[in-house]
Chain A
Amino acid sequence: MAKLAKQKIKEKIARTYNLQRAAEGWALFYDNPVGKIGMFLLIFFGLMAVASFIPPLVNPMYHPMTGVDPGISNATPPSLTHWLGTDNLGRDLFSQLLTGARIAFLVGISAAFMSIVLGTLIGMVAGYGGRITDGLLMRFADMIMVMPSLLVVLLLASLFGQLNIWIIVVLIAFFRWPGVSRVIRSQTLSLKQRPFIDMARVAGASHLRIIFRHILPNVLPMAFLYMTFRVTSAIIVEAALAFLGFGDPNTVSWGMMLQWVWKTGHMFQAPYWLLPPGICISLITLSFYMIGRAMEEVLDPRLRREEEAAQ
């Protein structure tokens, strides 16, 4: 009897979360060279972020922000004590680079998560609601979409003073939801026509229940896909802000490192300082972007069909 119940629970889990489909999806994802490269890059940066806690423990002079090598008063090329060299204040560049990975993950994932939650909610409401709600929400989305997010955040920084990293994250999220909500809206519109929604309504489900129990699970994969793309844009906007000198002065991000090398005029003298942060920003955005594209192929059967047709 207990065995039967267990079997039933297992079946229910498999049905709800579509485990078999997920496994198939994973196989497809891993088959794709783009997805594989992205995955390995991401693991590499994840290790960097974890390792960022180690250098300050080894020696306080490796602290990315406050640690200064007493014997060094100018930017120095890589050496045994400083694997990637130091900046003009004698701070260790390797340790700064590791910390930058942590900040990039923090900014990227939290901003992307917020904008996805916002975009999915607004998209579902717009798609499910009537014409007026839909029209109003989508016009609002259009308006935010034409605003250059980086420049708006700059303007806000000038009006409201120095922004800390969390305000920057919230602002990035706020300017990045419209793209998501458009996609989710169109998916919701087509889901709305399916019989199971009518059945739920006839069975007496409230609008909220229909949206969260019947529509949400169906649009969730798409939302997750867009999250990977949003991570890249959030990392880029934060890095650009920091590069222009409007980042949080209490954090060490890769954009910040580039600003220091640029503003202190070391860009022609210190390639060991100019190259690593730029390569890291480019590669971490590339990794999320590649994962997103590989996921897109898994989620969108049309793209797969083309693949098969071509072979």
Chain B
Amino acid sequence: MNLRKLILRRSLEILLIFFVILTILFLLFHLAPGDPVSRMVEPGMTAEDAEMLISQLGLDQPLWLQYLYYIKNFFAGNFGISFHYGQPVINIIGMRLPNTILLFTTSVFLSALAGVFWGKIVAWYKGRPVDTGVTILSLVCHTLFLPWIALLFIWIFAYRVGWFPLNGMITPELWLDPSTGFFAKAADIGHHMLLPLLTLFIIHVGEYLLIMRSSMLETLNEDYILTARAKGLSEKRIRNRHAAPNAYLPVVTNVGLSLAFSINGGALTETVFSWPGIGRELIFAVSNNDYPLAMACFLFISLVVLVANLVVDVVYAYLDPRIRY
């Protein structure tokens, strides 16, 4: 199977899963106690506006037709009007989604990279004090309670020491000033992003490190490592060229498996740091009973997880030729 075929097949599978999630959400929405119409139409709306919204979303139709409307509206990007913002939901999603993707991909990428790098080295010192120490430290990092460590970081690094801003993503005054250049703006975002990034990094790096370590130990028992030794290759070359490439695979699989878990952590991080992402928006919408916004946020988060899964599969196929051919 070549790479293109693999991507096509996995995309179809993902589309199917997404369809099921869409349907389950529709059913939940209608099964929940209370009136579905009142959940999509804000009480304060004028009668004409409300009528237009109801007919647009098909809420006055029989249930099976409502389902078709619902699917159609999803692909048309029509999710109704947010109660809180009074704007079409899709606009809010459009603003929030890039912020989440920025924070999420950077944190997963950096922690996977660092975890793989350190795990590789630690495996080499198996059984020595360094190994025991790093293993226990990774376990501790992995089990830290994320919102708490986020609050602690804000307290220490932003409040007491004052190195970082308390929350948010940008400094509004800087962005309103027309003379601010692109690099100054990027630096501003980076400055705001460091603390949330550090939080997510610490939570995830231990997990990747431990997986890389045990995967590396497994490959070190293989015969071809013995062959490489017999050829008289240097330890560093054996480690980086012969053992590590095969040890990457379980790490990649695990990144895929823990994506949903990472997005939970991402939403918590966004909330504590007031990072204007889609996870925070979902939590915010749920607290305010802003159902149209909450449902759309949830769908897009599921979509992010599914697409990220696809990317992980492609990376896996790229690293492991056995999958491709």
Contacts and interface: CB of A to CB of B under 8 A. Distances in A.
B294 A158 contact: yes
Interface string B248-271: 000000000101110110011001
A244 interface: yes
Nearest to B158: A268
Contacts of A147: 21, 260, 302, 305
Interface in A154-178: 154-161
B139 A290 contact: yes
A278 B149 contact: yes
Given A159-B32, A285-B143, A286-B143, A148 B305 contact: yes
A6 interface: no
Contacts of B21: 143, 147
A262 B260 contact: no
B145 A282 contact: yes
Interface in A255-282: 258, 262, 267-268, 271, 274-275, 277-278, 281-282
Contacts of A145: 257, 260
Question: Size class of A's contact patch?
Answer: 35 or more
Contacts of B260: 145-149
Contact of A306 (B126, B263, B305): B126
A150 B177 CA distance: 39
B217 interface: yes
B58 interface: no
A48 interface: no
A293 interface: yes
Interface string A226-245: 00000011001101100111
Interface stretch (B74-82, B168-176, B237-245, B279-287): B279-287
Nearest to B136: A34
Interface string A284-305: 0110011001000000001101
A159 B126 CA distance: 50
A139 to B, nearest CB: 8
A310 interface: yes
B40 to A, nearest CB: 13
Interface string A73-106: 0000000000000000000000000000000000
Contacts of B289: 158
Nearest to B125: A310
Contacts of B126: 306, 310
A142 interface: yes
Contacts of B28: 155-156, 159
B168 to A, nearest CB: 17
A303 B294 contact: no
A179 B271 CA distance: 27
Nearest to A268: B159
Q: Which of B20, B143, B151, B154 has the most CB of A within 10 A?
A: B143
A306 B152 contact: no
Contacts of A157: 286
A311 interface: yes
B155 interface: yes
A146 B127 contact: no
Contact of A286 (B135, B140, B279, B306): B140
B151 A278 contact: yes
Interface string A4-47: 00000000000000000000000000000110010000000000
B144 interface: yes
Given A143-B17, A148-B261, A155 B144 contact: no
A311 B127 CA distance: 7
A160 B306 contact: no
B291 interface: yes
B218 A302 contact: yes
B39 to A, nearest CB: 8
A309 interface: yes
Interface string B128-170: 0000100110011011111111011011000100000000000
A148 B264 contact: yes
Contact of B298 (A151, A160, A243, A245): A151
10 interchain residue pairs of minimum CB distance: A278-B148, A159-B32, A150-B264, A281-B145, A158-B286, A285-B143, A286-B143, A310-B126, A148-B260, A148-B263
15 contacts: A147-B302, A151-B263, A151-B282, A155-B294, A155-B295, A157-B286, A159-B29, A160-B33, A244-B268, A258-B148, A277-B148, A278-B152, A307-B127, A310-B126, A310-B127
Given A146-B260, A262-B151, 13 more contacts: A143-B21, A146-B302, A148-B301, A151-B263, A152-B298, A158-B285, A239-B145, A268-B155, A268-B159, A285-B143, A286-B139, A289-B139, A303-B214
